[in-house]
Amino acid sequence: MAQRIIVDPITRIEGHLRIEVEVANGKVSNAWSSSTLFRGLELILQGRDPRDAWLITQRACGVCTYVHGLSSVRCVDDAVHVTIPENARLIRNLLMGVQFLHDHLVHFYHLHALDWVDVVSALKADPAKASKIANQVSPAGNSGTSDFKAVQARLRKFVDSGQLGIFTNGYWGHPAYKLPPEVNLIATAHYLEALRQQARTARMHAVFGGKNPHVQSLVVGGVTCAADLNPDRISEFLYLHKETKAFVDNVYIPDLLAVAGFYKDWGAIGGTSNFLCYGEFPQQGKEPDSLFLPRGAIFKREVAKVQGVDVAKISEHVKHSWYEGDQAKNPAQGETRPAFTKMDTNDRYSWMKAPRYNGEPMEVGPLARVLVAYGKGHGPTKKAVDGVLKKLNIPVTALFSTLGRTAARAIETQIIADAMDGWIMELVENLKSGNDKTFTPYEMPEESTGVGLNDVPRGALGHWVEVKGKKIHNYQLVVPSTWNLGPRCGADKPGPVEQALIGTPIADPKRPLEILRTVHSFDPCIACGVHVIDPASNEVYKFRVS
């Protein structure tokens, strides 16, 4: 008889996510991903000036503020048919690059690492031995015996005070934790260093964004930070970038390789079949060919056959979601008409719609981007992926997994950090040659439509706008976590997370650590996908086994 496990909410994510699985013979045999918060941001935008949309959409979430701002500005750029100046393109790319660096660092260390790292076990580590291992893996500083002793002492304080803080709700001592105490200690030390580093990396947004969070420097037609394009501000940005890049090269990548080496079995767990990315970072020339990270779709894991993307093939299904009717619609004609029934995994069970491409569920995010780039022979991606596969001694097929997803995130962080060096220099060259243009004037048309396709840290993000009488008539967002975490579709095909969970081994149904590993590997962030229905709930963490 199959056993049901419900984890609600999943912690260490933004927004509320409920995962229900059926376990038989020690493995997940079926899964349902459900968002218990209602979405409806679109409703607030109707009737407003299209120029204001980005200021509102960037408030949808406390994490992905810039990405919704940029997607929105791009879709209105499209609706008014404006081509932004070179400098505006570079600034927008640099700010987007910062978003990737910051989000991926925080995800690896603060939202995901504790699924693999047992912090309590780090107390048992021999600091001298940890120092020796750390120095073998990486040239990073702060890895002497005394450094690790200090980290242990600080950790001890937290454990003894009973105030583990962020470390509560952990499944410490779970048999699925495989790292030796010394590696746990190194990772815990880097967890703290990453905390410091992310705070500094976040400052980069303020340099060209005016402030952080919620940058203020975007505008339809370009950017407004003309006054910040001076040597002082650029070198401030460059300095913070070099520091972040050094952390990625010397700490993040070595940690990924060290931890992954103990979890190679996860190269066969948590995979999906189809992948979609819109691509990101426009270079000179026409999109999508000019995108630094290429656009494409992969079906049935056929990496060598990357297909082009046609937005007309996107549909949003509501058969298993709490919305009226069961008609699938393209986002350009999308509607948001909530109709809550009850939680029933056989019928409707989520506030998320189920997006499909050509009728298929598609995984979006770092793994999709890396696979599409790899399949298209993108030089930096090919080199980085082959390097990681060789170091870990695993085959390409191991990428279709939880391990592959987490590795892809680190790989693209490094690729983007490298590319940003070039964009900063391009900007400097433009300014040196006297080109300081940051804005292209335009006229708001009486009627128009626009689409903004972006690839943001969590995956493919699309904004659609319809303008009538120079005002927003309709607005739709299809966000990355909806692609990944959405429910079954009109054809009852499971969404990517639902598919990825099937086959996951569960050592102890009362402590389903393995479920968290796969769910967290998607970096769920669903505040924008959905919204509050029960804000008064005091439940911090609840899970039920039946």
Which residues are near other proteins by CB under 8 A? Answer: 13-16, 37-38, 40-41, 43-44, 51, 56, 59-63, 65, 80, 102, 106, 110, 154, 158, 163, 165-166, 192, 195-196, 198-200, 202-203, 211-214, 219-221, 224, 439, 441-444, 525, 527, 531-532, 535-538, 540
- Report the residue number, 32 or 191, with the smaller CB distance to other proteins: 191
What type of residue sits at position 311? V
Nearest to residue 240, comparing CAs of 369, 138, 148, 105?
Answer: 105
φ/ψ of residue 533, rounded to 5 = -115, -25
In the set 481, 488, 514, 531, the catalytic residue is 481
The active-site residue out of 35, 64, 102, 488 is 64
Residue 356 · residue 314 · CB < 8 Å: yes
The C-alpha atoms of residue 529 and residue 73 are separated, in whole angstroms, by 19
Q: How far is the CB of 54 from other proteins (least distance, A)?
A: 13
Choosing from 39, 320, 528, 531, the catalytic residue is: 528
Helix locations, 138-289, DSSP H:
145-160, 181-209, 231-247, 253-260
Residue 280 near residue 291, CB atoms below 8 Å: yes
CB of 508 to other proteins, least distance (A): 26
Tokens at 367, concatenated: 């793994």
Distances in Å between the Cα of 160 and the Cα atoms of 51, 113, 171, 367, 448 are 53, 22, 17, 39, 62
Q: Cα–Cα distance between 51 and 54 in angstroms, integer?
A: 7
C-alpha 215: how far from its chain's center? 19
The one-letter amino acid at 445: P
Concerning whether 14 is annotated as a catalytic residue, the answer is: yes
**Please, which residue, 494 or 524, has the CB nearer to other proteins?**
524
Q: Which is nearer to other proteins, 65 or 402 (CB)?
A: 65
Rounded distance between C-alpha atoms, residue 430 and residue 435, angstroms: 5
- Supply the DSSP string of 187-226, one letter for each residue: HHHHHHHHHHHHHHHHHHHHHHHSSSSS---EETTEESGG
**Shortest CB 87 distance to other proteins, Å:** 13
Q: Return all residues near 352 (Cβ < 8 A) that are at least 6 apart.
A: 34, 35, 39, 321, 481, 482, 485, 486, 487, 526, 529, 530
Q: Which is nearer to other proteins, 63 or 256 (CB)?
A: 63
Q: How far is the CB of 489 from other proteins (least distance, A)?
A: 25
Q: What is the Cα–Cα distance from 395 to 388, expressed in whole angstroms?
A: 10
Query: Which one of the listed residues 72, 363, 525, 531 is annotated catalytic?
Result: 525
The answer to whether the beta carbons of residues 314 and 278 sit under 8 Å apart is no
68 is catalytic: yes
| Inter-residue contact 46 to 475 (CB < 8 Å) | yes
Q: Measured from the CB atom, is 333 or 537 closer to other proteins?
A: 537
In angstroms, give the least distance from the CB of 340 to other proteins: 14
Q: Please, which residues bridge with residue 463 across strands? A: 452, 477
Catalytic residue among 12, 14, 33, 75: 14
Nearer to other proteins, 40 or 175 (CB): 40
**Among 12, 16, 61, 409, which one carries the catalytic annotation?**
61
Q: Minimum Å distance from CB 355 to other proteins?
A: 21
Least separation in angstroms between residue 26's CB and other proteins is 33
Catalytic one among 12, 18, 39, 68? Answer: 68
Does 75 qualify as catalytic in the annotation?
no
* Complex with other proteins: residue 135 or 169, whichever CB lies closer: 169
Closer to other proteins at the Cβ: 378 or 520? 520
Active-site hit among 39, 112, 458, 511: 458
CA distance 36 to 531: 8
Closest distance between other proteins and the C-beta of residue 214, in Å? 5
Pair of tokens at residue 96: 């987007």
Catalytic residues: 14, 61, 64, 68, 458, 481, 525, 528
